[in-house]
Structure 1
């Protein structure tokens, strides 16, 4: 699909014609469009971002605070080259794994990446589960708010269903070599508070790797099973925290956020799951993005740098947390 990026910009004209030399251009200008794909870990954010980028001329900016680092491809669950399907990715496995890449660092680099993508007349799709990164970019960067109009796609899955899925995913990661991958970077003096060693799956294996050589086979298996169980528990806890953060952002900032309930997809397997994904997630998201890019009559408020973000159209409001908990028991 050929997409003219001129259609992805929206003009807001002044309501009053000013006479004289007053230049109103800084207050009324065309805004480029940016799409965000959000959600808890394991909900399919990367898959959806790639699906959209193969439908629209787009490039993806990773907003996962662990996937930005080089290395540990299995532990960090990075998309493979094959899964990328030829779509350019930015900030994916590019940062020194021993450094401390902050939300401010992300904001600066993501702004540059977004600007370069727009310059190539492509749509920036910012995808990842680190909501503090997204908040730093959208709310803490006045220039970003001034230049871009944002649409947020929130892929949501019932927590009990998601917890079961991420538990199975950890088992698959272990089969693919998660333990061996962590062992390759193991250092008894390592600092687990910064860099890629913060990744779930690394600190949980510390005790096992320290004692592995002196354990008998039975005890070794018990240590490993305990470490894997801890990885699953911490991954589920992360999903809960991410969900709470998304709801806080929704309630605090009133972003143009569209909730897409993908629970049905995760209850299926194989071809049925793929079909459900196409119908429930991919097609719905594509329709939302299509409207966002081309609906020139949609109301938008331009804000100048330094002002608070204003509310825009909100669709598919989420249930309160208590209601979600009751519905998913």
Structure 2
């Protein structure tokens, strides 16, 4: 029987310290990093997505950054295929693929054998729902989804009508929510996986999120978002990202800049809470508490011990 490809996955909420840890582990285990973030794929969206800077990479190859223009859509199925190809390519070089990110559904789609083609589709129903959206408006159709599938609705922006329609389509065809339908599948882990989850005392994490937003503003987030705004980008997937939609409200003149920054902090904190809940409910994760940031070297040893036991890899000496 062919042995499975080894894979290291680092997940956790925004601002918990995934980037720093990923670089250290990539150096130790001769790894290459694949972004598991659904928004870091977009060019020109660097500050708001907390994309790693080239000088922070320490010569570690990074994949799936800046592969789409902000006006382009990007599906989970596309992500799944691209990442699986990268895992295969990195493995062939004798290196360890490391997925790092916070978009749980995207990462789950890669490492488990979910067949997206098994999710039913019906072109006539889809067209009917598209017409309905034109008649009653995006918000009303979104409310329809809220009634039948709250979990999917919580993960979709009301203006992302393509995804709203897809979730409704699955429900009306199967009588199950998208998650319930996926739960009927018995997915296997495709890789020999070590899944690291980083967590932190909630108050400490929220403080770090607030600080990160302040740093983003100092680094030029407003100018970055203005650039997209002036291009006329609006009802597209990328602009629904936290960090962009709040500044758009300010640029539209509906709120003050101070209020936009406050909304950004609040939405980021709420997102972190949702991420933690999602990871705990949906994936088999080994959790590591990163609250004591001054004890990073000790934590690295603890994590490395787990990785070596799980994957059978040996540490390099750099």
TM-score after normalising by structure 2:
0.72
1:40 to 6, 10, 13: 13
C-alpha separation between the residues in 2 aligned to 1:117 and 1:44?
A: 24
Q: Is it true that 1:199 corresponds to 2:241 in the alignment?
A: yes
1:227 to 217, 240, 260: 260
| Corresponding residue number in structure 2 for 1:159 | 202
- Which secondary structure does the structure 2 equivalent of 1:186 belong to? helix
Q: CA deviation at 1:95?
A: 1.9
C-alpha separation between the residues in 2 aligned to 1:90 and 1:188?
A: 27
Higher share of residues assigned helix: 2
Q: CA deviation at 1:146?
A: 6.6
- Which secondary structure does the structure 1 equivalent of 2:252 belong to? helix
- Which secondary structure does the structure 1 equivalent of 2:107 belong to? helix
C-alpha separation between the residues in 2 aligned to 1:115 and 1:85?
A: 23
2:91 to 104, 118, 141: 118
Runs of 4+ in 1 over 4 A off after TM superposition: 144-147
C-alpha separation between the residues in 2 aligned to 1:106 and 1:179?
A: 28
Whether the aligned pair in 2 keeps the contact of 1:59 and 1:125 (CA below 8 Å) is yes
Alignment of 1:180-195 (within 5 A): 180-187=223-230, 190-194=233-237
1:277 to 284, 293, 296: 296
| Corresponding residue number in structure 2 for 1:3 | none
Greater shift in the superposed pair: 183-192 or 86-95 = 183-192
- Kindly provide the CA deviation profile for residues 236-263 of structure 1, in whole angstroms up to 9, marking residues without a partner as x: 011011011001114xxxx3x2110011
Alignment of 1:30-179 (within 5 A): 30-141=3-114, 145=188, 147-179=190-222
Whether the aligned pair in 1 keeps the contact of 2:12 and 2:275 (CA below 8 Å) is yes
- Kindly provide the CA deviation profile for residues 88-139 of structure 1, in whole angstroms up to 9, marking residues without a partner as x: 1110122222111111111000000000000000011011000010111122
* Higher relative contact order (Cα pairs below 8 Å, separated by 6+ residues): 2
C-alpha separation between the residues in 1 aligned to 2:29 and 2:231?
A: 47
Q: CA deviation at 1:229?
A: 0.2
C-alpha separation between the residues in 2 aligned to 1:184 and 1:169?
A: 21
Q: CA deviation at 1:188?
A: 8.7
Q: CA deviation at 1:71?
A: 1.3
When Rg is computed on C-alpha atoms for both structures, the one with the higher figure is: 1
- Call closer, same or farther: CA 1:75–1:58 in 2, change over 3 Å: same
Query: How many residue pairs were aligned?
Result: 243
- Which secondary structure does the structure 2 equivalent of 1:134 belong to? helix
Q: What residue ranges of structure 1 are gaps of 5+ in the alignment?
A: 1-27, 213-221, 266-272, 296-329
Q: CA deviation at 1:207?
A: 3.1
Q: CA deviation at 1:203?
A: 1.2
Q: Please report the RMSD computed on the Cα atoms of aligned residues, expressed in angstroms.
A: 2.2
Q: What residue ranges of structure 2 are gaps of 5+ in the alignment?
A: 116-186, 314-318
Q: Is it true that 1:208 corresponds to 2:250 in the alignment?
A: yes
C-alpha separation between the residues in 2 aligned to 1:146 and 1:37?
A: 16
C-alpha separation between the residues in 1 aligned to 2:247 and 2:231?
A: 11
